[in-house]
Amino acid sequence: QVQLQESGPGLVKPSETLTLTCTVSGGAISSYYWNWIRQPPGKGLEWIGYISYTGSTNFNPSLRSRVTMSLDKSKKEFSLKVNSVTAADTAVYYCVRLWASRLDYWGQGNLVTVSS
Amino acid sequence: ETVLTQSPGTLSVSPGDTATLSCRASESVSSTYLSWYQQKPGQAPRLLIYDASTRATGIPDRFSGSGSGTDFTLTISRLEPEDLAVYYCQQYGTSPQLTFGGGTKVEIK
């Protein structure tokens, strides 16, 4: 059974960089697109972007200028960095596998609060 | 950008009844690229339906999807108390590559 697990700090100061890592277990990292999706408290889902198994990336235009993603195949991990964070970046961040246009496996989510 | 509009915002349904949820796209979406998700309180979303009408593994046949073009529907038959959740539609297309509807909350009467 494929499992994804987010890890990272739960609190980030304004203007700093948010960094999260997702570890994939129970399945291959090749042949899929690895996504980050976030959900502000009480609100809907927002796609941040993905990194493919080849390392190519695709980001939501609304966040593109502040986001980077990386992939470590040997560790079966992929990471998200969002710089210059503000309170509007406070959300639960999910790492998610994308296969053939559908998001089939989700991590449990990591709440990140931006506050001084 | 393809905008997905879900209606109603909240749906109150009695156990055993049928819930009909709508997802309307601002431009035509390929059926292959339309999915539905269920998010129960305090949990991550779960894939319910993909390719507009194919149930994901382990999803009961009470859940069905239909539609094409700009109008898609998720139908929940024989509603059970455990179906209390927010339901999201999602499309995969051009920039941004992936977008979600605003969600429909299903309440149990």
Read off the amino acid at residue A50: Y
User: What DSSP element (H or E) covers A32?
Assistant: none
Model pLDDT, residue B94: 73
Q: Which residues of B touch A107 (CB under 8 A)?
A: 44
Model pLDDT, residue B1: 85
What's the gap between Cα A42 and its chain centre? 19
Residue of A nearest to B52 (CA): A102
How far apart CA A53 and CA A70 sit, in angstroms, is 10
Query: How many residues make up chain B in this entry?
Result: 109
pLDDT along chain A (116 residues), means of 10: 96 98 95 96 97 95 96 96 98 96 97 97
Residue of A nearest to B96 (CA): A60
Instruction: Please indicate whether, in this complex, the C-beta atoms of A102 and B103 are within 8 angstroms of each other.
Output: no
